[in-house]
Amino acid sequence: MFTGIVAGTGILRGRRGAGGGLAFNLEAGFEFADPEEGESIAINGVCLTAYDIKGRRFTVDVSPESLTRTTLGSLGVGSQVNMERALRLSDRLGGHMVSGHVDCVATVREQRPAGPFTLFSFSLPEQWNRYVVDKGSVTIDGVSLTVNTCSAGRFEVSIIPHTLQVTTLGLLKIGSRVNIEVDMIGKYVEKLLTVQPVISSGPEQGKLNSAFLAENGFF
């Protein structure tokens, strides 16, 4: 589990094929305190397992599923990536709850300055549009951001200078592809509203829907 508060960036030092997937050799741009073999680390928002940790260098395996769903397969040696180590229960939750399980890839459609900030507009696959809401949270290449506005197939975020400086978002340009993880709460709520669990044995029970939630004070 992560928060979308990137610890820093790193460099892809090497890549090789590994059983239908890839193995990346990465170097973090920051010190690893108390590294643990097998710990989780988010690379551009993708939860991966770090092993063979030697100082700031470590290796991760990228599965065929991750290559299909994310932009990791397009990274070349020398590419800069965002990194975040897994959340500890004692840490501050500065962003939002992020699983590191990327949902889709979005594309930068517009980039423009707004005072000291930079506004980015992204397009994303239609089936994921319903999970992106005004003032809701979204994770872009592992960075927790707030949605300014959204419409059919598009959404916009405002990025502060600090974030552009310390993450790879400052390297984005029109046409760049990024990993997107939508807010997991929306997906869970949708699943609860579409399944039909047996709530009780009464003749009028059996569905968890908006009417049931309203009657029981959730709305």
Question: Above 60 in pLDDT, residue 201?
Answer: no
pLDDT greater than 60 at residue 204: no
Note whether 18 and 65 are same-domain residues: yes
Q: Are residues 118 and 177 in the same domain?
A: yes
Contact by Cβ (8 Å): 101, 42:
no
Tell me if 145 is assigned to some domain: yes
Mean pLDDT of the chain: 91
* Percentage of the residues of the chain whose pLDDT score is greater than 90: 77
- Beta-strand ranges (E) seen in 55-190 are 57-62, 80-85, 104-114, 117-123, 137-140, 143-151, 154-159, 177-182
Residue 96, in any domain of the structure = no
**Is the pTM above the cut of 0.75?**
yes
Helix boundaries (H) for the chain: 64-69, 161-166, 184-194, 210-215
Supply the pLDDT for residue 205: 53
- Tell me the pLDDT tens digit for each residue of 46-99: 999 999 999 999 999 999 999 999 999 999 999 999 999 999 888 888 899 999
CB 179 within 8 A of CB 70: yes
Q: Give the per-residue pLDDT at 219.
A: 63
In a domain, 21, yes or no: yes
Q: Are 45 and 98 in contact (CB under 8 A)?
A: yes
Would you state the pLDDT for residue 23?
98
Shared domain check, 204 and 138: no
Residue 65 falls inside a structural domain: yes
Say how far apart CA 58 and CA 103 lie, in whole Å. 25
Instruction: Return the CATH number at 112.
Output: 2.40.30.20
* Structural domains of the chain, count: 3
Q: Are 47 and 100 a contacting pair, CB within 8 Å? A: yes
Summarize pLDDT for 156-193 with one digit per residue, the tens: 999 999 999 999 999 999 999 999 999 999 898 888 88
Q: Which domain holds residue 180?
A: 104-184
Residue 172 lies in a domain: yes
